[in-house]
Amino acid sequence: MPQNNNEIPVYLFLGFLESGKTKFIQETLEDKRFNNGERTLVLVCEEGVEEYDLSKYPSKNVVVRTVEDKSELTEESLAAMVAASHAERVVIEYNGMWLVNDLLSNMPESWAVYQVMLFVDASTFINYNSNMRSLVVDKLNLTELTVFNRFERSMDPNEFHKIVRGVSRRSEIAYEYTDGTVAYDDIEDPLPFDVEADDITINDEDYALFYRDIMEEPAKYDGKIITFKGMAARNPKFPDDVFAIGRNIMTCCVEDIQFCWFVSESADASGLKEHGWYIMRAGIKVQKHKFYRGKGPVMRVLEITPAAPPEKEVATFY
């Protein structure tokens, strides 16, 4: 990725305590392909058994700073740490018990996230997912690669794959076995609808999967026709021909429910019933729109008719 001269690249490593983050970062900093003399600030937000051995780095231009409390994650303090270390890039070993947004929302404007990886101890992951699901989802939502280390031959990759794919279709998955071998996840995970078709119908139970997929990869839906059931909503800020249609989606728990909607355009938008359910057939145009704060899928209504609510009004990924 080309770097803007004013950008500070950020490499973010997520995972719970003793998940293998420190070991991976240590090995990465020892690798001359990554560490070739760039001034690097390593922010350690969680101290485990492993410690960094600075003597093994091919470059001495590495400054390690411990962040003991998330109250230190302010834009001012983060900028000051970079200034004091004269860092050209930042590597962050993040605390698994902190929400990622606590960091992202306070990053200096010049910081740009270049890579996000999640490290997971396979022997404790199922327990973490059962008891701290919201924290697991928080990490999976952002990661580009999920590494399950300490993986045993007796473990079923399908069980781990299903949990990751329940949150993200974007993350690659790797299994690092206890014998040192590594296998990349190649389990086929087809969508429950034909994304290659020009005219796509979304079943009620598949709305969450559809919403996540189109928001992650909108370009592949551009120009297609879509039919799905959703709840209409309007806002005083909307023009007369614009409305929202979508559904509440629950990712992990009741507190996590959000209304996930699309910008839709219709000459008859003002006549739609607020919170009324409709079956809509629309053409999709991926374009810039102020209500997306950038590009997004705009639904141009071809036909919209009142409908009964779905059997389960809150959509899920399972």
pLDDT tens digit string along 248-277? 998 766 667 899 999 999 988 888 999 999
Residue 318 pLDDT greater than 70, yes or no: no
Same domain for 151 and 32: yes
pLDDT, residue 2, reads: 44
- Tokens 């039919």, residue located: 227
Q: How large is the angle between the packed helices 157-165 and 122-131, nearest 10 degrees?
A: 40
Same domain for 24 and 173: yes
194 within a domain of the structure (yes/no): no
Same domain for 178 and 90: yes
43 or 188, which is more confident = 43
Residue 57 pLDDT greater than 80, yes or no: no
What is each CA distance from 19 to 30, 35, 44, 94, 127, in whole angstroms? 19, 23, 14, 11, 14
The number of domains in the chain is 2
Is pTM beyond 0.85? Reply is no
In contact, 231 and 276? CB cutoff 8 Å? yes
Question: Which domain, by its residues, includes 224?
Answer: 199-315
Provide the pLDDT confidence category of residue 35 given band limits of 50, 70 and 90: confident
Same domain for 153 and 271: no
Residue 1 pLDDT greater than 50, yes or no: no
Same domain for 298 and 232: yes
The arithmetic mean of pLDDT across residues 157-178, rounded, is 92
